[in-house]
Amino acid sequence: MIQRAYKYRLYPDQAQAEYFNKCFGCARFIWNKMLEDKQNYYDTYHKNLYVTPAKYKNDFPFLKEADSLALANVQLDLNGAFRAFFEKRTGRPKYKSKKRSRASYTTNNQNGTVAVTDRSIRLPKIGYVRAVIHREIPEGSKIKSATVSRTVSGKYYCSVLCEIPADKKAPLIIVENTKVLGLDYSSGHFYVDSQGSTADEPHWLRVQERKLRRAQRKLSRMIEANISCYTGRRVPVYKRPLEECRNIQKQRKKIAVIHERISNQRDNWCHQESRKIANSCDAVVLEDIDLKGLAGALRLGKATNDNGFGQFRRYLEYKMEEQGKYVIVVDRFFPSSQICSVCGCKEPTVKDLKVRRWVCPQCGTEHDRDINAAVNLRNEGIRVLYTNKIQVI
């Protein structure tokens, strides 16, 4: 079984939007209530408390108006969060905030209660909601669940999770040697490939970021003007509570909308770049880089954190898989940048990230650090294909 989600824009009417907002609120409310009870129980008895949403419905009758499956899914999510906490994989589960948390709820398909038609999506309890079905759900697939969400700019989306039977999977292709591409993640460029071409994030993303910085500056000046003094612990005392300052709230929303726009643009660009590669190559070789580790080391922080290479990689992976093509992830410890791609000798002094160009001491070839690394990844990828008995011509 392959699982795939398809996200559609919803155009609910006023009553439907109200219903969605109610469900978002109830999902958040029940999460916080159950979390509070479980946490108190854990603090006194050091044991997990079993709770269900049904228990709260008498005390808080408005919960009955929401989709009951949405509440059941919150229970599952919360249990998962606690399991992760007990197994020490994460910290304590956190409360959800009306202002900061993503407004969403997830419901399940029970014998067609969730369905995608030509121009609408059917959801439990409210029926058909107008939607733009920009892409059809593959034939023979089964709808598992649907997640409705609202963005900060007030748009509604529905992500439909489907299960596609494994026999619908594209057959694996025969790889052409010339269509194997090595991609080296580069902090200066987005990536450098084994043919020497680079991809840079388009400059209009920078333009948006300038806009964002300006808006943030404006907000901080507005807040500054509303502060009467700082107390000893540098906690500001506001002349008026921030919730009442409508212009500050408006500015906050503006910033949230710019953030949303930037992330949409980046998302779109990642899709286009990965589509180009997925259509023109048979196999792509990437390094399994630890993006978190890389951002911590050196001063590459910002450039690495926000340029969405991980996102790009996920998009590339599923686009390749759809066509029966290969994505080969090379081990993190493969010394891609230290090997000479011409003669194969190892030159450890090049490990230093500051070395951009170097000359091989054995064969005398002058290398660009990133291109050389990409070529090495490509060679390693072809080797991996051979050892896995995958035909390369």
Question: What does the binding site for Zn ion look like in residue numbers (CB under 5 A)?
Answer: 340, 342-343, 360, 362-363
Q: Which is nearer to Zn ion, 324 or 344 (CB)?
A: 344
Task: State the nearest-atom distance from the C-beta of 358 to Zn ion, in Å.
Answer: 10
DSSP label at residue 339: B
* Least distance between Zn ion and beta carbon 343 (Å): 3
Tokens of 331: 């081990």
Looking at beta carbons only, is 69 or 340 nearer to Zn ion? 340
Closest separation in Å from C-beta 164 to Zn ion: 47
Q: Which of 114, 69, 77 is nearest to 93 (CA)?
A: 77
CB 308, CB 358: distance < 8 Å: no
- Cα distance between residue 173 and residue 306, in whole Å: 34
What gap in Å lies between CA 377 and CA 392, rounded to an integer?
16
**Within its chain, how far is the Cα of 23 from the centroid?**
23
CA 369 from centre of chain: 29
Based on CB atoms, which residue is closest to Zn ion, 168 or 346?
346
Nearer to Zn ion, 43 or 366 (CB): 366
User: What is the rounded distance in angstroms from the CA atom of residue 47 to the CA atom of residue 278?
Assistant: 49
The label of the residue with tokens 């009306």 reads 98
Is residue 121 within 8 A of residue 159, CB to CB? The reply is no
Phi, psi (degrees; rounded to nearest 5) at 57: -65, -30
Q: Angle 302-308-314 (CA atoms, 0-180°, nearest 5)? A: 150
Name which of 270 and 339 has its Cβ closer to Zn ion. Answer: 339
Closest to Zn ion by CB, 2 vs 342, is: 342
Closer Cβ to Zn ion, 106 or 341, answer by number: 341
Can you name the residues that pair with 230 across neighbouring β-strands?
A: 236
8 Å CB contact between 10 and 157: yes
Q: Least Å distance between CB 192 and Zn ion?
A: 19
Contact 33, 74 (CB under 8 A): no
Rounded distance, CA 78 to CA 80, Å? Answer: 5
Pick 170 or 343: Cβ nearer Zn ion: 343
Q: How far is the CB of 337 from Zn ion (least distance, A)?
A: 14
